[in-house]
Amino acid sequence: MIESKLKVATCSLCGCFGCHMSLLDLDERLFDLTERVEFDRSPLTDIKESGECDIGIVEGGIANVENVHTLLEFRARCKILIAMGACAISGGIPAMRNQYELKDCLEESYTRGIGLVDAQIPNDPEIPLLLNQVHPIHEVVKIDYFLPGCPPSADAIWTFVSQLLAGQPIVLPYTQIHYD
């Protein structure tokens, strides 16, 4: 009997895709991984909407309404949801804008920036509205596992995924727990 593969979805919300780069740093271990799992919605597959999944891996925090929408979709479709990286876990670098009013951030970028011509704040209806503050994802939905790092190293991801797939408790060695 062929064992059916676990379905995995991944996404990057308000992150820099660095965690996904780290995922790709698994290198040849990706072959081992794809023996065991099948990727559903993910930047790696370009599937736009997730089906029912066993594991969801979320990079990035919540900074706009689309992020919230995607996160709620992941929570609804994924049995296990994992917060990967500093932004998903604590808001990270994008959350440093929480020190300022959103209006000030937009004006600094779009009306006071250097070399701007006909400066205006973008307001196309296609652009998701920004939230007043950036938040970590556990403030919005229940998260089952946290994998810290900026980004977590490929080794940390591999330790984590291997233990998770084996149904073991997650125990990361000291050198694989990093907040930076």
Partner 1 sequence: MSEELSFTLDGRRVPFQDGQTIMTAALAAGFYIPHLCFNPEFTPHGSCRVCLVKINGRMQASCTTPAAAGQTVLSEIEEVREMRRGILQMLFVEGNHVCPACEKSGACQLQAVAYYAGMLAPHYTHFYPRRPVDASHPDALIDFNRCILCELCVRASRDVDGKNVFAVQGRGIKAHLVVNTPSGKLGATDFNITDKAAQVCPTGTILRKHSGYEIPIGQRLYDRKPINVVGDVAALAVSKGGRRHD
**Contacting residues toward partner 1, per CB under 8 A:** 83, 86, 89-93, 95-96, 98-99, 133, 135-136, 138-139, 143, 146-148, 150, 174-175, 177-180
Question: Nearest approach, Cβ of 77 to partner 1 (angstroms)?
Answer: 22
Question: Nearest approach, Cβ of 149 to partner 1 (angstroms)?
Answer: 9
- Name the 3-class secondary structure at 66: helix
Question: Nearest approach, Cβ of 100 to partner 1 (angstroms)?
Answer: 8
157, 177, 147: which is closest to 84 by C-alpha?
147
- Name the 3-class secondary structure at 58: strand
34, containing H or E segment: helix 29-36
In the complex with partner 1, the residue whose CB is nearer, 20 or 41, is 20
In the complex with partner 1, the residue whose CB is nearer, 50 or 90, is 90
Question: Nearest approach, Cβ of 27 to partner 1 (angstroms)?
Answer: 19
* Integer Cα distance of 146 and 156 in angstroms: 12
In the complex with partner 1, the residue whose CB is nearer, 23 or 143, is 143
Residue type, 64: N
In the complex with partner 1, the residue whose CB is nearer, 9 or 160, is 160
22, 52, 54: which is closest to 36 by C-alpha?
54
Residue type, 165: L
